[in-house]
Amino acid sequence: MKTEDIFEQNLQQLEGNVQQIAHFRNRAGTYEKRYDFRSITFDFFADQLTKLVKITPDENFKYRNILDFASGTGDLSRYLAQSLNESRIYAVDLTFDMLFNGNKLNISDENPVWVCANGIQLPFSDDKFQFVMMKFALHHFDDSLTKFMLSEIRRVLTTNGFVIVMDVISPEQNPSKDFFKTLNVMREPANRNYRTKTEIQELFHGHGLKLVTDYSKTHTYQICVEKWLREFYFFENTLPFVLNSDEITKNQINLQKVCDFHFMDIQAGMFVFQM
C-alpha cells in the first residue's frame, strides 16, 4: 500500500473514532435507560451467553478470561460477573464515559476490569482469552475497520476460543433489507451497517472464524415503532419513513397498527464462531 493511502486510512479511522467517542459521551449517562433494541433483547442474549460460557469443554476453560469487546457500560459483563466468580472479565471500550458510568452501576469489586482502549490495538498478550463477546457493537464498524478488529481478536483468542457476536440483524431480502439498513443510519448516524445474518457469517468466515451452529440462535421481537424512534434522532423523518414505506416492505417487516401505535418485527441473533 502507498504511504498516502496508509495516511488516508489512518485519518479515516481517527475521524471515525472521534465521531464514536463524541456520540457515546453524550449518551453514556442515560444509555441503559432507553427503550431500544438493547433493552428489549438483553434477556435473550444474557441467557444464551450464560449457557454457552458455563459449558467448560476442558480444564483450560475453567478459569476463563472473557473479553467484552466494545463493552459500553458493560451490562452483560456485570451480569456475567454475578455467576462466574472464577472468571476474569475485561470490559474494553474506546469511550471512557461509557466505562465510567458502567462502573457506577457495578456491584462486584473484582469483575469486570474496565479498560479504555481501541479495539484495533488491544492491550493484552496473545492467546489470553477463551471468550470474546461483542454485543451491539458490530453495526458501528464498517467492513474495513472490522478487518483490523478481527485480526486483533484472533491474536488475543486462545486456540478453540469462541467469538460471540450479538446484534440486531437486517432482513435478508429486499426491499425490507435496504429499508432497515437506511432507517438505522437515519435514526443514529453513528450506526454504520446493520448486517444480515449471511453478511455477518461471511464477514467472519473471511477472517478464519467458523460458525458453530449448535450455539447460534436468533429470535424475533415486536417493537413499538413510535416509542423506539422517539428515543433517537430525526423522529420527524424516521417515523414517516416507516409509515410511508411500500406495501412489500410493510408486509416483510410485519408492520401493524394496534390502537394508536405501530409495531414491527426485528430479529436479533447470537452468532458463535470458533477459530
Ligand X SMILES: C[S@@+](CC[C@H](N)C(=O)[O-])C[C@H]1O[C@@H](n2cnc3c(N)ncnc32)[C@H](O)[C@@H]1O
Asked whether position 167 contacts ligand X by CB under 6 A, the answer is no
Asked whether position 203 contacts ligand X by CB under 6 A, the answer is no
Asked whether position 140 contacts ligand X by CB under 6 A, the answer is yes
> Shortest gap between Cβ of 192 and ligand X (angstroms)?
10
> Site for ligand X (CB under 6 A): which residue of 112, 119, 161, 171?
119
Residue nearest to ligand X (CB): 72
Asked whether position 48 contacts ligand X by CB under 6 A, the answer is no
Asked whether position 37 contacts ligand X by CB under 6 A, the answer is no
**Exposure class string for 20-49: b at 16+ Cβ within 10 A, else e:** bbebbeebbeebbeeebbbebbbebbbebb
The CA-CA-CA angle for residues 122, 193, 225, to 5°, reads 120
Asked whether position 271 contacts ligand X by CB under 6 A, the answer is no
Task: Point out which span in 103-111, 131-139, 217-225, 227-235 binds ligand X (CB under 6 A).
Answer: 131-139
Q: What's the grid cell of residue 155? A: 491474536
> Shortest gap between Cβ of 36 and ligand X (angstroms)?
9
Q: What is the torsional sign of CA 234, 237, 242, 248?
A: negative
Measured distance CA(14)–CA(158) in Å, rounded? 29
* Phi and psi angles of residue 258, each rounded to the nearest 5 degrees, phi first: -130, 115
Applying CB under 6 A, the residues found at the interface with ligand X are 17, 20, 24, 38, 70-72, 75, 93-95, 98, 118-119, 135-137, 140
